[in-house]
Amino acid sequence: MMFSGKFFKYFKWVLLILIAAYLLLVVVRVFHFFNLDKTEAQVAKIHATKLSMSDVMGDNLPPDPGIEADKTIEGIDANENGIRDDVELAVFKEYPNSAKTRAVLLQYALALQMEVVQPFINTTIATEVVREQSRGFQCVGNIFLNREAQESFEKLDSLIKSIKDKEFNTEERKNARNIFLEKVRSYSDLDSECDIDISKLTN
């Protein structure tokens, strides 16, 4: 009888442990699928974010943010088009007469800004953002297709550097980028390149 009581007590503890383990597994799985759904929704939003023709033509340019531009890592985006205002204004100032150049540079700037505006970051999101950046990089190259190879390379390098220098113009932004890039995994390039068909732009 005494043995039976001990066995029942042992069995009860084993059963409680198994139930607790099962409940923990359920919670973990629910949390996993919840995060998976959030990640998939965020990835869809990343790839749905595109440059518009009105952005290229400057139909809704923001006011100069002044010193507010560098007070936070994400900066100011008053017109809510995904491009940091000081970078957007700088592109228009430097290329007032070239819609093609503005189109490709603003798309690249938009993709770079995606690093700092995500509500949360994991390896999947970081990698998908970089895929958009790679797409933007290739788009910049499209405006040099008919030039000599050396000239094209030098100009492309200069334009890419100019946008990166504007985007990552503080130590805080540079550090945030380094942390972001640590989460990036291997990836394949996206099929399409430019958000705007630059062949339809006259200048």
List, for residues 59-112, the tens digit of each pLDDT value.
Answer: 999 999 999 999 999 999 999 999 999 999 999 999 999 999 999 999 999 999
Q: Taking residues 146-161, report their average pLDDT.
A: 75
Whole-angstrom distance, CA of residue 107 vs CA of residue 50: 8
Higher pLDDT: 36 or 71? It is: 71
Residue 1 has pLDDT above 60, yes or no: no
Do the Cβ atoms of 62 and 82 come closer than 8 Å?
A: no
Residues 6+ apart with CB under 8 A from 123: 183, 184, 185
Report which DSSP code applies to 61.
Answer: P
Q: How is the chain split into domains, by residue range?
A: 1-40, 49-200
pTM of the full predicted structure? Answer: 0.80
Instruction: Classify each residue of 79-99 as buried b or exposed e, where b means 16 or more C-beta atoms within 10 Å of its C-beta.
Output: bebbbbbbbbbbbeeebeeeb
Residue 21, exposed/middle/buried by CB under 10 A (0-12, 13-18, 19+)?
exposed
> What is the overall mean pLDDT for the chain?
87
R_g (Cα) of the chain, nearest Å:
25
